[in-house]
Amino acid sequence: MIQYGIPYITKLLTDMRLTAPTGETIRIDDADRAPGRVPHCARDQFDVKVSASPLVYSDPNEIVVFTDDYGTPVPAPGVDPTGAATTDQGFEVVLDANGVVTDAHQGRGGITVPTGGRILQGIGTGAAWLRARFVHDDRATIDTKLHDVTMDRDIPLDASVDVVSSFHQLLRNGDIPAELPNSCSGTRPGDVNATLICTDSRTALGTDVKGPPVLVTLTGQANEDGDYLRAFATLLDSQELGLIDVINLDGGGSTTLVTGTQVRTPPTDVENGVKVHRKVADTVYTGVGGYGMYAK
């Protein structure tokens, strides 16, 4: 979590609840992704793995909320052949910026979220719940809570808060977690005894003994080169760096370090026979701008 430009690494739980005009509530399964298709990791005990590469889970009974950040028309049935649940025609509820229902209909997809509004899509029992409780001009309430497990507190969600997620924590309270795997996605034979060398570039975000954010990238000078995950953690676990908590961010071709206007890492992808830097959707930025300490 980053608040007022200061990172704080912890375990977070998200709880989204939908309240109908009757006062009944139900958990919202996720935000801004196709119902029935759960990417990367399971969200709850009902999600079943349907694909290993890419890693996809599925749940036939879901409610998903879409915000205007989604940016494109919300998904229609059948967006992913690996998830049979995505073929469910479902039910859709459109909310304006005040939470008032402007449309509620059978079927889903192909429309854009109104500015400041929401769109609810349900499949299976989720569709049945929406269908039975919402009609035009009803009002829906969506409550989102972010809970800090470490400190056992709810974090107010406002413009000062950004959340960056990670599959793995590299350092926790200055130590390498026992559960950290020594994983690697890309390898090649080394120069000595054909030992496999991990070529995954790495990106880490951490905090040091003084508290400010620390960004670390590990790669080659001319070609992508990196290390196994635990070896990367061992490198970070040094007295010189003084890091306390560190999370691993997306690596490989997604690792790009820019200081000022200069790119410090080599290109990894190939387009039209030419090596280029990968286009990525999100970045972690440190420097001028953002929230100053006065914003507290």
Residue 125 has pLDDT above 90, yes or no: yes
68-82, 169-183, 263-277: which is most confident: 169-183
Would you say 233 and 251 are in contact if contact means Cβ atoms under 8 Å apart? no
User: Average pLDDT in the 142-170 region?
Assistant: 88
Task: Identify whether 266 is preceded by a cis peptide bond (ω within 30 of 0).
Answer: no
Q: Which of 3-17, 158-172, 252-266, 275-289 has the lowest mean pLDDT?
A: 275-289
Domains of the chain: 2-155 (2.60.120), 166-278 (no CATH)
pTM of structure: 0.76
- CB of 230 within 8 A of CB of 181? yes
Which pLDDT score, from 0 to 100, does residue 222 have?
73
Position 260 scores a pLDDT of 81
Q: What is the residue-wise DSSP string for 59-126?
A: -SSEEEEEEGGG-SPPPPS-S-TT-GGGG---EEEEE-TTSBEEEEEES--S-PPPTT-EEEEEETHH
**Per-residue pLDDT, 128:** 98
Do residues 278 and 258 touch, judged by C-beta distance below 8 A? Answer: no
- Whether residue 206 contacts residue 252, with contact meaning beta carbons closer than 8 Å, is answered with no
Q: How confident is the model at residue 288 (pLDDT cuts 50, 70, 90)?
A: low
Per-residue model confidence (pLDDT) at position 293: 39
What is the predicted pLDDT for the residue at 195?
67
Q: What is the pLDDT of residues 194-235, one digit of tens each?
A: 667 677 788 899 998 887 788 898 887 777 777 888 999 999
pLDDT value of position 232: 92
